[in-house]
A and B are shown apart, each in its own frame.
Chain A
């Protein structure tokens, strides 16, 4: 038994249980509260590789965990899909994007940045790019430029 894997699975199952018992809004607030606390613990920081005015991640550090979960349980739970759909316009690709984005935003906020925009990502089982069009415009980019970058990266965001 890999204890760390058990803890990760527990967290994902806790999300499922929370959506059922507390509802999606409270679950998102709960996930974001945990992420903020972790971001605060890590301290100020600007994540990602700077590239053409935005920052990128070449791989999603959480995706393999999501994939393992989906493989084990057959498919992505409906509870995840509900949460992802609620944040779809923020370019959320998988359940951990909610969590990861909040950690990143908290750390950037501590580093003096006013906003952390999540432009696009494709770290979902289908590998389909999801976009945050408002953020893309706000970052001064177009979908075509984002698509070009997404050929090489898993996630694009911008600190302002």
Chain B
């Protein structure tokens, strides 16, 4: 990996994040005038984590105050909101947003003090209460309709990213509560129950990997086996790294190592490089199937943390290579795959108008002439993941001079 270029990309990522924070504190998912000019709670919270890691303390403070104020009266965080914090969601429940918002607040508090947590303590209580209201007491997992891919057909039920985020979010709430002298014993017990269920029910000992989701239609179905959806999605999905991403397990845990090994083998794109999010056959491959820089960065961090320098280089090097003008797309594809996707969606009658805007954006991008479809450019989230991956790389391999492998 070209270290000089990697450093430039890090600096550019800081600028991209700063430039895409509205004065009110919200981080746009993509800049005004592009595809996602709203504040999506999931993206915003991860970008806040990236800002924190980069030492952008004031930006992180503003981001947290913004997102906590955007919470709905029910305790749910919306899918997305406008720059004034008004709910503009168009999709059903995505409970991981509650988890990631709490998680980001907890990480900030740990580093820079508990004043925001104290000021917004009622929001923290409401957020945790909302999560626990959606927990099934037979299996002790949290029920959701959408999760990280916003794709109910594949995520409706007990999904691993949502459960890891919610569990980690409650654990952060427990830490904040303990620091502020609040009674949080029950939350700690509930979080532990969720964690144990993730390790027991969303992990396949026979396969030695985590699984994506237990599909269940109704959160209160009892017994679960009779729920009309009752089934397990065990295909490789980058979300299966979530237990380690949210710190519920160490990267060196064998369950994590084996899961990532499976993801690497199954989802590494042999034509384009980079990591796909799930198998192509699950479809909903807007703009054409292909690898995503933010998921590639996530697993780069895993390889860094276990000291697999060679694989970390491949992952982070790919991310560096696909950046255009030091900015990232959501994902990339080939022209052939792009055309296949257009054809499939058009003939199926599900090609929406807003997708036409995306199609124009892809064809107008300078990389099209080189044979690449750059889908949603720029997207802010991968810049935050890159910041965190680069800082890990710097800490593990550059500052200490250690080459682990």
Contact = CB atoms under 8 A, between A and B. Distances in A.
Given A45-B78, A58-B352, A152-B353, A40 B73 contact: yes
B88 A45 contact: yes
B86 interface: yes
Interface string B73-91: 1100010001010111110
Contacts, number: 33
A24 interface: no
Interface in A29-49: 40-47, 49
Given A46-B82, A58-B352, A41 B74 contact: yes
A42 B89 CA distance: 11
Contacts of B353: 58, 152
Nearest to B78: A45
A70 interface: no
A105 to B, nearest CB: 14
A43 B82 contact: no
A107 interface: yes
A46 B88 CA distance: 5
Contacts of B72: 42-43, 45
B73 A42 contact: yes
Interface string A43-59: 11111010000000010
Nearest to B89: A45
Interface in B25-77: 72-74
A111 interface: yes
B140 to A, nearest CB: 24
Given A58-B352, A152-B353, A43 B74 contact: yes
A49 to B, nearest CB: 7
Contacts of A47: 88
B86 A44 contact: yes
Contacts of A45: 72, 78, 86-89
Interface in B146-199: none
B74 to A, nearest CB: 6
A110 B6 CA distance: 46
A113 B202 CA distance: 45
B87 A43 contact: yes
Contacts of A41: 73-74
A44 B87 contact: yes
Contacts of A152: 353
Contacts of B73: 40-43
A152 to B, nearest CB: 6
Contact of A111 (B86, B89, B90, B354): B86
Interface in B352-384: 352-354
A44 B74 CA distance: 11
Contacts of B82: 46
A46 B74 contact: no
B69 to A, nearest CB: 10
A132 to B, nearest CB: 23
A49 B90 contact: yes
A47 B78 CA distance: 12
Interface in A6-46: 40-46
Nearest to B82: A46
Nearest to B353: A152
11 contacts: A41-B73, A43-B72, A43-B87, A45-B87, A45-B88, A46-B88, A49-B90, A49-B354, A111-B84, A111-B86, A111-B87
Given A41-B74, A49-B354, 8 more contacts: A42-B73, A42-B74, A43-B72, A45-B72, A46-B82, A46-B86, A46-B88, A58-B352
> Top 5 A-B pairs ranked by shortest CB distance?
A45-B87, A43-B73, A43-B72, A111-B86, A46-B86
